[in-house]
Structure 1
């Protein structure tokens, strides 16, 4: 990502009463005026020499609060331990440089921060050096920044950053800012301990669920189990007799019980006799949804790609191959239950929670209460898992509506059942694939037509490109060189709310494309890796990761035993490239055991390599859970699953051996938060086919007896 901003646009220095150097950084892509100096992130150097970075991105386990401070520390020439992080408030000033809204997601934090935060560190370093040189009356070129101090080469004199902060802030902003060349990095690209690990281990880390506000009470809630339904009536007489219960609150579509503690709130909620108006969706089911998607496939959709005269090639000679794939609704099931604490007073509203979208939360709470968004103060906390679920702000709106009815703060905590049955789900997809193979078995035409919900149309209509959901169609054509390509998308909606689920579009499309490419290789009688290599000649970075993964996994020398198989997949998304080779075993009863996963990654310049590995492997665990177990079904307008007994997670004893190899690169960083998730399902499905001869086109993978 290039920084297309002037010096005046991205940096302003000012001296405060505490003698600090404060740098306001503009990330590219914002529509701010050149002289507005509205920051996306603040770098503050205090008189104690400590650097505080106000983070425009949230920490939800992905390592942002380690990797992004590394960018500043690298250029500022300080140790990572000298950089503290603080949550940014909800404010348009902190909008994401790539999206124009304040959020964390789409594997985009490092991509957006890469240039501006290094520039901020470099500018601060330059100004500190100039301040020291001015004090000593020497040429700045004779001075150097070293580990939080400025050192004069000729005399050995030193001044700490804290002592220079006030003087540096009074200097003019440097016109030319030189960034360190890649070969001179001391932090970026090196191993570093996660800065948030100690507090998470010793229990001092504060997540949304840990919020404690004076006078606070706790609430439990039950919303209508049918999507779009409303509350008809509630008999709360028994609930109000439960010791500790303070109040029963009625919302349009939910009932909340406020109590002194969680136990009383849950017991009081269970004692409520609730009658629901189930509305128009009460007869909706998974079968009805599948039929609706199938019907949509018979209609003309939105044409995304039509290249190489596909219709003519597809109507000509050649072997035809086609297949239909489906993927079910999926819940996020974040480790930390959904929660928010709200205080509604005459001076405005305070919300304590962990959110990926503070500004959206501020706007939605303001609208729900009929007050100005600026009156809503968001106190963001660490997130116990996000995966796109905390891009939604429904629980915060509920908490505010409940707290409005009392004169004390209320912490609202969802049960796991409420979470599973009232999520914003990964869409249910139906994909029709078709290809034409030439005499040598190679594809000369490729078609991908699919139907499913458009998340962007609900969440951010301004992101649509000519009416097309840019996320839904990402990687729908794959990374391969095929002469004629056609992609068509049929947006279909029902009352089921859908949302971003750890790489929605590519996670869906990479599974379908990589599974179908494997089908084409089989139809051609060719090795799956060799087949892909022949199609990736014009995509060298994708080809390189495929070659590396195959080599490290021993693809060429593999000798699977009975019921064993190897599968491969390639993914390119979020500016990164990756390939995975997976080895599995399938019992005669159809039980799948994943034995080993070898992954190769080219994510450009890796800022925090340990974090890259953790992201890749963590994403694969998340993806394996979905591929083996993830399935939600609807009957009578409601989700039938309710907790981990019927919506299970991957267990520790099921974990495979995982190896991750990073391709050295000095390209601008790509995203890594979701690529591992996208790669794993097709690699597993292809391995199951190699082991059993069964081609499974529906997730989760249900093999059956073999």
Structure 2
């Protein structure tokens, strides 16, 4: 993961200029070219092997007019595959009904000098960080196809136009299809200047076109990693020490060796044992029967209570890590006549994706291949090669689509484990599959944090000073320690930064946001929405507390703080208008509101709830979002509705607790998630203002809980500062 994320950071810092991109596109090798990077191979082996006519790295046009668009980013249900294809197809001017897709393998990307750039997919980056160069790839392919037709006719390319993959020569009325000139287009020198279409003129992008990955889901032909099979394949089911940091002491393989289907019982590493059998069920049953002795170590005494005590100490401790500082908040708070203070907390969360971790690996002394899902193909390939003891050229990952991930497959621990198992069975394809219980126990958990909010109000109810102290775990310190800065973990301050993708959106004359890093032994990871989730809850619920203390309407109070932040304010106003903030509610129904900027987008939510006899009903949520540009309105709406499921589940039910050093929750019967009956009506308002590209899948997760919690306060007069909600919290 570290390699992939560092590449992403370097690319973001360096940027991708159109000049640099087009300069790289001039490379020609034996009649073929790679758009954006030099390509040492003669003709694309990928295209040539299939008898395809590659125009450039992104576009292959087949003789039957099928347009194959290559997608390098990972599809895990969020719709990036369709959105990226729309952007290419828009500039290509092809027929959307004839578009198909092909997923790029990381080894092929590497062999072609990373022409598709990074494949890492997370942080709502798939479209917002690759929109320009994929559009340029489509536009260049169109220009080359037109040039090929013009040469065939002996006319000027400027006299030609194209619509839905048909090139027309305007003066003569002649026409020809993309498929007829695709092979000739491949030999055309790429254009030195590419002009992208104004989004106002989009006909494919920006429209709710059908997804191109739906049919194979409906007819059952889609093969996820967990479905993948090869001839003579065996199944391995692993189990690691349930206490993170513990070791595998010994196990009795003879006790299960004669059980049906069992092939081998293996020591995988210092922490893990695995049973290999001919079916998953037989391997699982043998693993359950296997006598195992663990050395759980000192962490076996840790509990949720001891972790909470550690974090609570951090709320008042000195810390060198500052994420945002304006003026002198500590001095102003020390001399203030009225100080409002509140402590909040957010528990561990599991990704709980439906497809548990899995990977099929075949290892020999000459080559190692993996078939399976990953969010970071480049990093996974590095992990595969390192564990296999082979060069990168001798390894490949055949990426599959993912049955849910939410950040869990940003880590590559399971790839390493699958290879270590396969190495003990040379030449035999082995599919490693984690049980649900193992997936829950060995997760990379959303970090646990506490937060102390302190604010000074003047006599008019204006915020004079605000101190946000976060105490808790650092994902970066664990997962990518090289990305730590002098100010600690930048991810900790998401939504609280002075500017950028995670800006705070409020103007306070004296502001301090800092972090007391406290790292329990539970392994943290990038859980969908990351630290924006709890930071928005802390800030938006506390802003409501300040509005109440000032005797002001929560929307009016926010407007004053957001006067210099028009894009933040615009989505807040849109959500308020959509919910009817200034109109009466139905009897017993109360409203709450929240806003944040995350992953480059401005988002807000307004909720309507009722609390009757201690029972909460969330009737309706209006979500407003400004992602700059909307590539597929239907997908945006689906992503936002889905994000509320992910944002409300921790508030209502989900938490991971620690006892005797291990995670207590083992499956969905103890790790509850939001069900269909709990789901409110969600109304999505998009207000794309243009000029930037923001994410969609994650930002609105963060405003779900605070909007509802603020509405609960309006209904009950009680502040809920620790989630999930307990029955006593809902008693008026």
Question: What TM-score results when the alignment is normalised by the length of structure 1?
Answer: 0.94
Work out whether 1:623 is the aligned partner of 2:636. Answer: no
Work out whether 1:403 is the aligned partner of 2:414. Answer: no
- Cross-structure match for 1:572: 597
1:642 to 648, 654, 666: 666
Inter-partner Cα distance in structure 2 for 1:52 and 1:234:
51
Inter-partner Cα distance in structure 1 for 2:679 and 2:30:
52
- Cross-structure match for 1:448: 468
Inter-partner Cα distance in structure 1 for 2:209 and 2:258:
55
Runs of 5+ unmatched residues, structure 2: 1-11, 47-55, 498-503
2:60 to 45, 54, 64: 45
- Cross-structure match for 2:342: 323
Inter-partner Cα distance in structure 2 for 1:279 and 1:366:
31
Taking structure 1 as reference, are residues 426 and 96 closer, same or farther at Cα in structure 2, changes over 3 Å only? Answer: farther
Work out whether 1:476 is the aligned partner of 2:496. Answer: yes
Taking structure 1 as reference, are residues 12 and 279 closer, same or farther at Cα in structure 2, changes over 3 Å only? Answer: farther
- Cross-structure match for 2:373: 354
Inter-partner Cα distance in structure 2 for 1:369 and 1:608:
41
Secondary structure class of the residue paired with 2:401: coil
How far is 1:703 from its partner?
Answer: 4.2
How far is 1:434 from its partner?
Answer: 0.8
How far is 1:267 from its partner?
Answer: 1.3
How far is 1:416 from its partner?
Answer: 1.0
| Contact 1:13 1:23 survives alignment (8 Å) | yes
Taking structure 1 as reference, are residues 432 and 221 closer, same or farther at Cα in structure 2, changes over 3 Å only? Answer: same
1:555-575 deviation line (CA, Å, top 9, x unaligned): 11132534x421111011111
Inter-partner Cα distance in structure 1 for 2:72 and 2:111:
5
- Cross-structure match for 2:35: 24
How far is 1:652 from its partner?
Answer: 1.0
Inter-partner Cα distance in structure 2 for 1:77 and 1:10:
23
Inter-partner Cα distance in structure 1 for 2:520 and 2:629:
42
1:175 to 192, 209, 221: 192
Secondary structure class of the residue paired with 1:556: coil
Work out whether 1:70 is the aligned partner of 2:81. Answer: no
Taking structure 1 as reference, are residues 337 and 16 closer, same or farther at Cα in structure 2, changes over 3 Å only? Answer: farther
Taking structure 1 as reference, are residues 16 and 246 closer, same or farther at Cα in structure 2, changes over 3 Å only? Answer: farther
- Cross-structure match for 1:517: 543
How far is 1:648 from its partner?
Answer: 0.8
How far is 1:347 from its partner?
Answer: 1.8
Aligned residues: 694
| Contact 1:515 1:685 survives alignment (8 Å) | yes
Question: What TM-score results when the alignment is normalised by the length of structure 2?
Answer: 0.90
Secondary structure class of the residue paired with 2:286: helix
| Contact 2:559 2:569 survives alignment (8 Å) | yes
| Contact 1:13 1:170 survives alignment (8 Å) | no
Work out whether 1:260 is the aligned partner of 2:300. Answer: no
1:115 to 117, 123, 132: 132
Deviates more, 1:410-419 or 1:359-368: 359-368
Inter-partner Cα distance in structure 2 for 1:568 and 1:703:
22
2:606 to 581, 585, 588: 581
Secondary structure class of the residue paired with 1:282: helix
- Cross-structure match for 1:235: 252
- Cross-structure match for 1:29: none
Secondary structure class of the residue paired with 1:544: helix
2:395 to 376, 380, 386: 376
Runs of 5+ unmatched residues, structure 1: 27-31
- Cross-structure match for 2:291: 273
Taking structure 1 as reference, are residues 23 and 74 closer, same or farther at Cα in structure 2, changes over 3 Å only? Answer: farther
Work out whether 1:285 is the aligned partner of 2:303. Answer: yes
2:104 to 66, 72, 88: 88
- Cross-structure match for 2:50: none
2:619 to 595, 613, 620: 595
2:162 to 145, 155, 175: 145
How far is 1:133 from its partner?
Answer: 1.5
How far is 1:183 from its partner?
Answer: 2.0
2:725 to 698, 701, 706: 701
Kindly report the root-mean-square deviation, in angstroms, between the aligned alpha carbons of the 2 structures. 2.6
Deviates more, 1:103-112 or 1:345-354: 345-354
1:516-544 deviation line (CA, Å, top 9, x unaligned): 11111111111111111221111111111
| Contact 2:235 2:277 survives alignment (8 Å) | yes
Secondary structure class of the residue paired with 2:645: helix
Q: Counterparts of 1:178-189 in structure 2 under 5 Å?
A: 178-189=195-206
1:324-369 deviation line (CA, Å, top 9, x unaligned): 1111000000011111111111222111111001121222233334
- Cross-structure match for 2:445: 425
| Contact 1:347 1:375 survives alignment (8 Å) | yes
